[in-house]
Amino acid sequence: MRKDYYIINNKNLAITISTLLNEDFYTFDDNREGREGKKCYSFKNTDRFREILSLVNNTRNI
């Protein structure tokens, strides 16, 4: 089962993916333990998003 949204903690990564997708991301206060007071960035978890995420991650690992 795939979740409807995908959370990213890195703002620069969120901006990069947002630019490539040509879609805005959602910004939330992160309430998870150990991350209180920080922001997290969320995208709709679509096939296109997954493709862009893989592309960006593969590029970062070169």
Q: What is residue 30's predicted lDDT score, i.e. its pLDDT?
A: 87
* Local confidence band at 48 (pLDDT 50, 70, 90 cut-offs): very high
* Local confidence band at 1 (pLDDT 50, 70, 90 cut-offs): low
Task: Report how far residue 49's alpha carbon sits from residue 30's, in angstroms, rounded to the nearest whole number.
Answer: 21
53, amino acid identity? L
Q: How many domains does the chain have?
A: 1
Q: Which domain holds residue 37?
A: 5-60
Q: Per-residue pLDDT averaged across 18-39, rounded?
A: 91
- pTM for the full model? 0.84
